[in-house]
Amino acid sequence: MVLSSAASKSDESIHSTFASRYVRTSLPRFRMPENSIPKEAAYQIINDELMLDGNPRLNLASFVTTWMEPECDKLIMASINKNYVDMDEYPVTTELQNRCVNMIAHLFNAPLGESEAAVGVGTVGSSEAIMLAGLAFKRKWQNKRKAQGLPCDKPNIVTGANVQVCWEKFARYFEVELKEVKLSEGYYVMDPAKAVEMVDENTICVAAILGSTLNGEFEDVKLLNDRLTEKNAKTGWDTPIHVDAASGGFIAPFLYPELEWDFRLPLVKSINASGHKYGLVYAGIGWCIWRNKEDLPEELIFHINYLGADQPTFTLNFSKGSSQIIAQYYQLIRLGFEGYRNIMENCQENAMVLKAGLEQTGRFNIVSKDDGVPLVAFSLKDNSRHDEFAVSEFLRRFGWIIPAYTMPADAQHITVLRVVIREDFSRTLAERLVLDIEKALHELDAMPCKKDMENKITKPAAIAWKKLVENSKNKGIC
């Protein structure tokens, strides 16, 4: 009697203080478990496993926001149960998305009257925005070709080889050929002259990037606009431009208001930006803005009856959360132009601190530009002994997540490391990172060189080293 009550008591205390009862055996990974477990145990188990994820704040690989103010976190949690698509039930949320579209369209200098509604839509990110923009270009081009009795089965888009993977996705999913302008050593963005040369009668648009993911550089959209205008005049085509401003859309208006990259250029018909990058909202929000109603073919728009009024929608998904839209509106009115400018200036200054620190080591070439996205991309001057992948792997031991990757064609022989500077990356962290990079280099210098490892050292050591390097090579960048 006594024994059994003691046993059940200890069982009880184990299960209420820790989920031990449920973690003695490994959890099922393929089939849903037969029985329920207490909520505390489920929480504990999942929370513990998640500890092994990297720390988002030290994830310098990503452009995506990892910190917001507690007041905004509160708004997000309060709206986590709202389905955005229920516009009739949540008219205020719909109104907030429309206000965001208007504000962002003005920021991009859309030709709008003071209280004229802009044409645009909130999306899950720039990828969805790019799918929609691409579809609009494809449909417009097809309609025009059909009307002229011309074939319209071989559409293409001209981009630089530095495009983000979502353009390749668009091309494959929607059957459009991607014609890529090759890069070269020392020039890692699309050359506007070469891009215009590649334009033909089947080109639905030229996509320029404001803030290449590889090195943060802004492509010269104005030059592209001018060259393409000349070509259009000569050929009679009217090939338009899309600007992929995933990062740059929330940087250029604040840091470089004079730079003409947006709707000030007549051929720019649509622009996407990631609200969750320098729009300063957590992952799950992007924007696509069109210049005019005419640039978004009517047949792609679905009309939802919204409180008796007409709410046009153009998205790939139906249901989605409302929180990110509300959070974007919070940032726009909370920070205002002044707040965004201060944050972007601060990021830029921290990028310069990091760049100076890296230059001082004497070991790196800087491949990013000072007037692009606040990031530092750099490669080793000498990577014959140890390469950038080894540096990246070493830095993980200090907790830093810094990707290494090779450039696309024709610059595949160049490998770079990239540190994205976000709002929450402080000056102190920048200084600390330089110290840790120095430490990593120092330790790597003391290690046998990779070729020696592969050739002379024992087989297990060589295999371990190869695995280390391969692992770091396969880490994607975002």
Ligand X SMILES: *Cc1c(COP(=O)(O)O)cnc(C)c1O
What is d(CA 292, CA 300) in angstroms, rounded to the nearest whole number? 15
What is d(CA 101, CA 120) in angstroms, rounded to the nearest whole number? 6
Could you give the string, one character per residue 323-352, with x where binding to ligand X holds by CB under 6 A and - elsewhere?
------------------------------
* Residue nearer to ligand X on the CB measure, 242 or 450: 242
**Among residues 209, 327, 332, 444, the one that binds ligand X under rule CB under 6 A:** 209
> Which of the stretches 112-120, 195-203, 216-224, 240-248 binds ligand X when contact is defined by CB under 6 A?
240-248
What is d(CA 429, CA 442) in angstroms, rounded to the nearest whole number? 20
* Residue nearer to ligand X on the CB measure, 63 or 340: 63
**Among residues 59, 93, 213, 239, the one that binds ligand X under rule CB under 6 A:** 213
> Which of the stretches 110-118, 119-127, 305-313, 401-409 binds ligand X when contact is defined by CB under 6 A?
119-127
> Which of the stretches 65-73, 123-131, 301-309, 351-359 binds ligand X when contact is defined by CB under 6 A?
123-131
Sign of the alpha-carbon dihedral angle for 361, 217, 162, 132 = positive
> Please, what is the minimum distance in Å from the beta carbon of residue 424 to ligand X?
18
What is d(CA 298, CA 305) in angstroms, rounded to the nearest whole number? 16
* Residue nearer to ligand X on the CB measure, 272 or 415: 272
Q: How far is CA 178 from CA 23, 173, 195, 396, 418, in A?
A: 49, 12, 12, 35, 26
Tokens of 331: 């940032």
> Please, what is the minimum distance in Å from the beta carbon of residue 130 to ligand X?
6
Specify the amino acid at residue 199. V
> Please, what is the minimum distance in Å from the beta carbon of residue 164 to ligand X?
3
Non-local (6+) Cβ contacts of 108 within 8 A are 245, 249, 253, 262, 263, 271, 273, 289
Closest CA to 137 of 329, 304, 272: 272
Taken as a whole, the chain contains a residue count of 478
Q: How far is CA 177 from CA 151, 156, 437, in A?
A: 15, 4, 41
> Which of the stretches 12-20, 191-199, 208-216, 452-460 binds ligand X when contact is defined by CB under 6 A?
208-216
Does 164 interact with ligand X (rule: CB under 6 A)? yes
272-291 residues near ligand X, rule: CB under 6 A = 274, 286
* Residue nearer to ligand X on the CB measure, 126 or 368: 126
Does 216 interact with ligand X (rule: CB under 6 A)? no
* Residue nearer to ligand X on the CB measure, 134 or 240: 134
58-117 residues near ligand X, rule: CB under 6 A = 63
> Which of the stretches 125-133, 200-208, 288-296, 320-328 binds ligand X when contact is defined by CB under 6 A?
125-133
Number of residues that bind ligand X (CB under 6 A): 14
> Please, what is the minimum distance in Å from the beta carbon of residue 50 to ligand X?
22
Non-local (6+) Cβ contacts of 279 within 8 A are 65, 249, 250, 273, 285, 287, 328, 331
What is d(CA 374, CA 211) in angstroms, rounded to the nearest whole number? 9
* Residue nearer to ligand X on the CB measure, 373 or 441: 373
**Among residues 246, 265, 327, 414, the one that binds ligand X under rule CB under 6 A:** 246
Q: Which residue is nearest to ligand X (CB)?
A: 125
**Among residues 135, 166, 199, 206, the one that binds ligand X under rule CB under 6 A:** 166
The alpha carbons of the chain give a radius of gyration, in whole angstroms, of 26
**DSSP 8-state class, residue 278:** T
Specify the amino acid at residue 13. S
Scanning the structure block, which residue is given the tokens 């031991």?
Answer: 397
Does 160 interact with ligand X (rule: CB under 6 A)? no
Q: Given the rule CB under 6 A, which residues bind ligand X?
A: 63, 125-127, 164, 166, 209, 211, 213, 244, 246-247, 274, 286
